[in-house]
Amino acid sequence: MSSRVKRIHEEAVLVDAHNDTIVAHKQLGISLTSRADETQIDFPRLREACVDVSFFAVDVTTAFKSHLTYALDAFGFFEKELEQAGEDVVIVTTKESLVETMRDEKLAIILAIENSDAVEGSLNVLRMLFKLGVRSIGLTHNPRSLAADGVGESRTGGGLTTFGVQLIEEMNRLGIIVDLAHISEKGFWDALEVSKKPVIVSHGNCKALCDHRRNLTDDQIRGLASKGGVIGITFVPRFVDEKKPSLNRLLDHIDHAVEIAGINHVGLGSDFDGGGTLLKDVTELPRITEGLLERGYEENEIKKILGENFIRVLLETLPR
């Protein structure tokens, strides 16, 4: 790594918009407070990689008829890990706490839920999850949820349900980010119409380069940008290229998203510990910085992709 790459990477505010690390560590019974070769993320390696803000998601999809319990159990495990980590790792819940945590050079955690069935069809449960600290929720996983159809149900042509509309409206009011990763295309457009706040796709790539159902069309990428949102380019090999996934091909997805959406609407969403295996672990993030520099991006543009764009969405969405 050149001294210039190292400097840019260290100066940048680095945001990773999606990982599945909580469940990975819980299932393996290993702590986040020390290095763990079995996973891609832990607190020491996040520090080494100069990550400033990390979205820690809990995917409740497989917890049939016990989505809320599954989420609470995972967050309870994570809370215990945070107690052991000390004051350098902070769950941020407001604009002020985000700014303070970054200013103090602590690791900022955004608690996220993947698949809104965790709210069990109740806006009252949503409000309690908000009080617990959840600040980002993906409306669906690939299957159908109570809020909308996922990409696995696209055959139906289904979009947002009535509850899905109510859910987005309440998330907007509370200050919870609406995440459209995994949602059906019809649901995607419905959500853009309903949401009054910027929405994100925390981890997904460009369908024009890799025709996978989880990737976004150019029209979707433009629509996301028109709403002030951000797409987090992800490191899942099958979303990068069906035949020869590589770092260069991943950078092609960043190039394409920037071309379609503009430099202010592209970020990173690794999906570490959930399939994002194109990079070995979080400590390899400087390879992204190096690759962008080699492709001729200006330093200020690289910093937007590495994190500033997602910080903008957080500051526009989180409560005071």
Question: Residues 272, 285: contact at Cβ < 8 Å?
Answer: no
Residue 250 confidence (pLDDT) above 90: yes
pLDDT tens-digit map of 268-282 = 999 999 999 999 999
Rounded average pLDDT over 97-104: 98
Confidence class for position 65, pLDDT limits 50, 70, 90: confident
Average pLDDT over residues 255-259: 98
What was the pLDDT predicted at 64?
Answer: 81
For residue 159, is pLDDT > 90? yes
Read off the pLDDT band of 252 (50, 70, 90). very high
71-282-273-318 Cα dihedral, nearest 10 degrees:
30
Exposed, middle or buried by CB within 10 Å (0-12, 13-18, 19+), for 1? exposed
Q: What is the pLDDT of residues 206-235, one digit of tens each?
A: 999 999 999 999 999 999 999 999 999 999
Instruction: From residue 216, give the alpha-carbon distance in Å to each of 147, 184, 185, 265.
Output: 20, 10, 8, 14
Evaluate if residue 288 carries a pLDDT over 90: yes
Statement: residue 52 has pLDDT above 90: yes
Average pLDDT, the chain: 97
User: Of all residues in the chain, what percent carry a pLDDT higher than 90?
Assistant: 97
Share of residues in the chain with pLDDT > 70 (%): 100
pLDDT band at 76 (very low <50, low <70, confident <90, very high): very high
Residue 162 has pLDDT above 90, yes or no: yes
pLDDT at 156: 85
- Pick the range with the lowest mean pLDDT from 62-71, 126-135, 203-212, 268-277: 62-71
Which secondary-structure segment (H or E) carries 237? helix 237-240
| Residue 58 Cα to chain centre, angstroms | 11
Structural domains in the chain, sorted by start: 3-317 (3.20.20.140)
